[in-house]
């Protein structure tokens, strides 16, 4: 997805865990490596400058340039001056440079360094698509992943899935957050979380109007640590439609062996 003021297409992967499993970046076309930078920290969760971080730039026969940004440190498999083939592995998707989540920043420029949109569609009707086969634009709403954490969402921690678990302890934890990684949640939607006690009684309901516009985002409803022992349920709604539910356990004391 792209957005105003951005010069490329961001292709996100699910999580840092996915990044650690190794997701390859492939050359979009035959070309020669003319830009190359490596050695930068690759687990950035904030926009703090640093441009494309670890990146590769290729020049192609038609004088177009392609850039591949935010790569994993020391994952670059080609060197300056190398000739590469379309589909050749260049390195791995990371979060180096000015990056909040692991993703590939893919950018195309012409010989005058002007930004080119390689996709055609409603926002770009001037030139045909540069892709051999352009994938459809994914406007769908769907849940990517969900879970529980024992803290109010600090997004850097949540992005690393720090502390994810589904058992909580009345004498250890102070909050329970239900985190939902969501694709395509539109601004203006009403999200709601209903929390149910082990006996099935509604404990509380939390709702708000969604104000952000990111294609992938986290919703993070939470409750203060309850004292009722047992298996709890939380149901998550968007505009009144049930999207998902989750269960967690509340226990009295953290076991010594844990
Ligand atoms: Zn980008």
Joined together, the tokens standing for residue 47 give 């926009």
10: CA distance to ligand 1 center in Å?
5
Backbone angles phi, psi at 17, to 5 degrees: -60, -45
Residue 41 Ramachandran class (φ > 0 left, ψ -120 to 50 alpha, else beta): beta
Please compute the mean of the pLDDT values over residues 87-112 and round it to a whole number.
Answer: 97
- What does the alpha-carbon distance between residue 174 and residue 171 come to, in Å, rounded to a whole number? 8
Joined together, the tokens standing for residue 121 give 């569609």
105: CA distance to ligand 1 center in Å?
4
15: CA distance to ligand 1 center in Å?
16
Give Cβ neighbours of residue 57 (< 8 Å, ≥ 6 apart): 33, 34, 35, 36, 65, 66, 67, 68
Please compute the mean of the pLDDT values over residues 80-100 and round it to a whole number.
Answer: 97
254: CA distance to ligand 1 center in Å?
43
Backbone angles phi, psi at 19, to 5 degrees: -60, -45
- What does the alpha-carbon distance between residue 110 and residue 130 come to, in Å, rounded to a whole number? 12
Give Cβ neighbours of residue 111 (< 8 Å, ≥ 6 apart): 63, 64, 65
Task: Look at domain 142-251 and name its CATH class.
Answer: mainly beta
CB atoms closer than 10 angstroms to residue 34: 13
- What residues does each domain of the chain span? 9-116, 142-251
Q: Is the dihedral of CA 178, 153, 188, 11 positive or negative?
A: negative
pLDDT at 1 over 70: no
pLDDT at 197 over 80: yes
Joined together, the tokens standing for residue 65 give 């340039």
132-152 confidence digits (pLDDT tens) = 999 888 889 999 999 999 999
169-182 confidence digits (pLDDT tens) = 999 999 999 999 99
User: Which of 130, 135, 144, 58 has its CA nearest to residue 101?
Assistant: 144
44: CA distance to ligand 1 center in Å?
13
146: CA distance to ligand 1 center in Å?
25
Please compute the mean of the pLDDT values over residues 234-241 and round it to a whole number.
Answer: 98
- DSSP for residue 93: B
206-236 confidence digits (pLDDT tens) = 999 999 888 889 999 999 999 999 999 999 9
Alpha helices in 31-109 (DSSP H): none
68: CA distance to ligand 1 center in Å?
9
8 Å CB contact between 56 and 107: no
Q: How far is CA 49 from the centre of its chain?
A: 18
Average pLDDT, the chain: 94
The pTM for the full model equals 0.86
CATH code of 9-116, in short, is 2.70.70.10
């Amino acid at each position: 997805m792209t957005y105003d003021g951005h010069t490329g297409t961001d292709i996100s992967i699910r999580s840092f865990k996915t990044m650690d499993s190794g997701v390859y970046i492939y050359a979009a076309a035959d070309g020669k490596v003319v830009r190359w930078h490596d050695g930068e920290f690759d687990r950035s969760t904030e926009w703090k400058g640093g441009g494309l971080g670890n990146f590769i730039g290729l020049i192609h026969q038609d004088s177009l340039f392609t850039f591949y940004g935010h790569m994993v440190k020391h994952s670059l498999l080609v060197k300056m001056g190398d000739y590469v083939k379309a589909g050749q592995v260049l390195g791995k998707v990371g979060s180096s440079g000015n990056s909040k989540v692991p993703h590939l920043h893919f950018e195309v420029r012409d010989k005058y360094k002007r930004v080119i949109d390689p996709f055609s569609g409603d926002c770009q009707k001037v030139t045909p698509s540069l892709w051999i086969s352009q994938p459809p634009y994914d406007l769908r709403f769907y849940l990517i992943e969900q879970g529980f954490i024992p803290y109010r969402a600090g997004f850097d921690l949540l992005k690393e899935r720090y502390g994810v678990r589904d058992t909580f302890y009345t004498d250890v934890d102070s909050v329970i957050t239900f985190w939902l990684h969501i694709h395509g949640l539109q601004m203006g939607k009403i999200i709601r979380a209903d929390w149910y006690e082990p006996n099935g009684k509604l404990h509380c309901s939390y709702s708000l109007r969604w104000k952000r516009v990111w294609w992938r985002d986290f919703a993070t409803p939470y409750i203060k640590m309850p004292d009722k022992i047992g298996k709890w349920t939380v149901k998550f709604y968007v505009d009144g439609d049930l999207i998902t539910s989750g269960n967690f356990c509340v226990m009295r004391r953290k076991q010594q062996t844990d």
